[in-house]
Every structure is written in structure tokens, then in C-alpha cells.
Amino acid sequence: EAGVAQSPRYKIIEKRQSVAFWCNPISGHATLYWYQQILGQGPKLLIQFQNNGVVDDSQLPKDRFSAERLKGVDSTLKIQPAKLEDSAVYLCASSLIPTYEQYFGPGTRLTVT
């Protein structure tokens, strides 16, 4: 069974630029999560989707971050404009249903200079 795929793996941008990350969850997984992991901290949930609907986006900085999950499969997370404090690893995870085990992708490491 293929795991959660993410791209790109690494991205370096200047502040005020925009960036987008892509996630392809495990086939059949209805629930998809985006987490932000700042160096030295645990991951923090940004947004949770159930199929293509948003379940929880309470910690998503909506003035600069946006996410979508078209057709309930792939998802993209966008930052526009980026700030220095957005430097982090962005993790995508998926699960069959919310109460089942979450499987994590390898993450995208973003550096904002």
C-alpha cells in the first residue's frame, strides 16, 4: 500500500513570496490533516478535512494560509505572503476515518529567508 505522498520535499523562498504544497493521501482515506512543525516543537494541526469539507481550521492563519481538497482526494496548502516565522516542516497525514490511525507523509521543509 502506497503511503502519503508530499511534494516538494524542500522549498526555500524569500519573505513576501507565495508557496504551495501538495499532498496525496492513502487511497480511500476520507480524513486529511495538515500540521505545522516548527523546529524543536511538536506538530500543530492547521486544518482537518473530512472528504472535501473542512472539519477544523481554528489554528489556520487565514489571512495568509489557505487549503483546499478538491474531489476529496489530493490537497494543497498555500501561503501568501510568507513570513520568516513560517519556516517549518509541513506535514500531511491521512486516516480512514477520524478515529483511526493517522499515517504521516515525509513532510515539506520550508525555509523563508
Partner 1 sequence: GNSVTQMEGPVTLSEEAFLTINCTYTATGYPSLFWYVQYPGEGLQLLLKATKADDKGSNKGFEATYRKETTSFHLEKGSVQVSDSAVYFCALSGGGGTSYGKLTFGQGTILTVHP
Q: What is the C-alpha separation between 12 and 74, in angstroms, rounded?
A: 23
- Contact present, 112 and 13 (Cβ < 8 Å): yes
* Site membership for partner 1, residue 1 (CB under 8 A): no
Read off the C-alpha cell for 46.
492547521
Nearer to partner 1, 36 or 82 (CB): 36
Q: Which of 10, 12, 15, 44 binds partner 1 (CB under 8 A)?
A: 44
* Site membership for partner 1, residue 41 (CB under 8 A): yes
* Site membership for partner 1, residue 72 (CB under 8 A): no
Nearer to partner 1, 81 or 106 (CB): 106
Instruction: Please list the residues that pair with 11 across neighbouring strands.
Output: 110
* Site membership for partner 1, residue 65 (CB under 8 A): no
Closest distance between partner 1 and the C-beta of residue 106, in Å?
Answer: 5
- Contact present, 94 and 5 (Cβ < 8 Å): no
- Contact present, 109 and 11 (Cβ < 8 Å): yes
* Site membership for partner 1, residue 31 (CB under 8 A): yes
Q: Count how many Cα atoms sit within 13 Å of the Cα of residue 93 in the half-sphere of its side chain.
A: 21
Site for partner 1, rule CB under 8 A: 3-4, 31, 33, 35, 40-45, 48, 55-56, 91, 93, 95, 97-99, 101-102, 104-107
